[in-house]
Amino acid sequence: MDFWSLFLMDFVKQLQSPTLGFLIGGMVIAALGSQLVIPEAICQIIVFMLLTKIGLTGGIAIRTSNLTEMVLPAAFSVLVGILVVFIARYTLAKLPKVKTVDAIATGGLFGAVSGSTMAAALTLLEEQKIPYEAWAGALYPFMDIPALVTAIVVANIYLNKKKHRAADYSTKQEAFSKQSVGANDYSDQQDYPSSRQEYLSKQQAAADNRVKIWPIIQESLQGPALSAMLLGLALGIFTQPESVYKSFYDPLFRGLLSVLMLVMGMEAWSRIGELRKVAQWYVVYSVVAPFVHGTIAFGLGMIAHYTMGFSLGGVVVLAVIASSSSDISGPPTLRAGIPSANPSAYIGASTAVGTPIAIGFCIPFFIGLAQALGGGG
């Protein structure tokens, strides 16, 4: 059987997974006008338990593994998180009716990681009995934080430059209107400070405009999704949680994930209306970008596979978190860091289209690709 036949068979098989079935089911019942509502508090508890379990799994594995194995995949995670922001900055931002700051925020959200998408990928890998490093889930923060930090820094640099250009233009226009230039006058003279106080005030204003990196990192670390996963990671490394892990977290994982997929399907459908408020290019980006980002990460993962023995299952995890877009901690971080960006653009693109594409198509795509490259499932 040739490569593409094997790939297509595996791809169709992944689409029949119960995890993806609940996502599609949620979208269908929302489209039919169902009044089913699952309280937000329950969803938060489910997300906390899922990501704590992933963190525990990674922490237990890290405690007993060689940390040097993580170096290259972690470095590639950082690289992809940063790269995704610049891809949006120089592709999406160039399209008609797309504001640059909205495009950067969208890139930040697509560069950040969806914990639910990662949980779905890990579940499907286990269902298909595809081995992966237990610490692979710990790659989450290595991609998530750099993406959010890069997006906020790039957006603020762009906005500051735009503001300074507007201020310079306004100053020149005002000076031109007030001055009558004589034969010996120079219209391009610089406006130097007239006093030490004025000089210091300008320096202070410039310092205030600089983007502060640590508050962005701190807010990302304090987000509910990343906090839960890091808590599990720390408990797995520094304690002996195997008994509670096996008796409580592990048995509940798939059931809780199915409920979360149902909720995400309903939310995705409800968010579609938000995309009608912004340029249609966001829909195109949300469909194409997960595959582009995931393929870049898959290629880098294959480098780690051939050079350091990184498993094909681990390559899939790296590709899936790259194709995902943050649905929990990313939006509030970007709202605070880039307040001028339009949430309907970046949240609508992520939740309504990006997340369903990542879960429903990218996960089966990259699992099928890995199985085809590995010679079968």
The CATH number of the domain covering residues in 3-163+201-374? 1.20.1530
What per-residue confidence (pLDDT) applies to 187?
A: 47
Kindly give the interhelix angle for 330-337 and 100-111, rounded to the nearest 10 degrees: 150
What per-residue confidence (pLDDT) applies to 197?
A: 61
Question: Is the confidence at residue 297, as pLDDT, over 50?
Answer: yes
Q: Which of 127-136, 189-198, 232-241, 311-320 shows the lowest mean pLDDT across its residues?
A: 189-198
**Domain segments of the chain as ranges:** 3-163+201-374
What per-residue confidence (pLDDT) applies to 327?
A: 75
Q: Where are the alpha helices (DSSP H) in the chain?
A: 3-15, 18-31, 40-63, 68-90, 100-111, 115-127, 140-178, 196-209, 213-222, 224-238, 242-244, 250-275, 281-308, 312-323, 330-337, 343-348, 355-357, 363-374
- Among 34-43, 52-61, 64-73, 305-314, the range of highest mean pLDDT: 305-314
What per-residue confidence (pLDDT) applies to 32?
A: 92
Mean pLDDT of all residues belonging to the chain: 83
CB 78 within 8 A of CB 142: yes
What per-residue confidence (pLDDT) applies to 174?
A: 62
Question: Is the confidence at residue 307, as pLDDT, over 70?
Answer: yes
Share of the chain above pLDDT 90, in %: 36
User: pLDDT of 84-114, one tens digit each?
Assistant: 999 999 999 999 989 999 999 999 999 999 9
What per-residue confidence (pLDDT) applies to 98?
A: 92
Q: Which of 2-11, 33-42, 144-153, 268-277 shows the lowest mean pLDDT across its residues?
A: 2-11
CA 342-331-46 angle, to 5 degrees, is: 145
Task: Write down the residue that tokens 């922490």 correspond to.
Answer: 59
Looking at per-residue confidence, does 329 or 92 come out higher? 92
Looking at per-residue confidence, does 186 or 287 come out higher? 287
Task: Write down the residue that tokens 């906090």 correspond to.
Answer: 227
What per-residue confidence (pLDDT) applies to 304?
A: 96
User: pLDDT of 180-219, one tens digit each?
Assistant: 555 455 444 455 555 556 555 555 555 555 657 777 777 7
- Phi and psi for 194 in degrees, rounded to 5? -90, -10
CB 182 within 8 A of CB 124: no
Contacts for 129-132: CB closer than 8 Å, 24+ residues apart:
129/377, 130/312, 130/313, 130/316, 130/367, 130/370, 130/371, 130/377, 131/311, 131/313, 132/311, 132/312, 132/313, 132/314, 132/316, 132/317
Q: Assign 3-class secondary structure to 282-298.
A: HHHHHHHHHHHHHHHHH
Task: Write down the residue that tokens 């797309």 correspond to.
Answer: 98
Q: Which of 38-42, 195-199, 242-246 shows the lowest mean pLDDT across its residues?
A: 195-199
Task: Write down the residue that tokens 């169709």 correspond to.
Answer: 12
CA 302-308-312 angle, to 5 degrees, is: 40
For residues 26 and 209, give the distance between their C-alpha atoms in angstroms, rounded to a whole number: 44
Distances (CA, A) of 273 to 11, 33, 38, 264, 328: 30, 14, 20, 15, 20
Question: Is the confidence at residue 317, as pLDDT, over 80?
Answer: yes
CB 232 within 8 A of CB 51: yes
Question: Would you place residue 352 in the very low, low, confident or very high pLDDT band (cuts 50, 70, 90)?
Answer: confident
Contacts for 205-209: CB closer than 8 Å, 24+ residues apart:
209/160
CB 113 within 8 A of CB 140: yes
Sign (positive or negative) of CA dihedral 187, 189, 194, 198:
positive
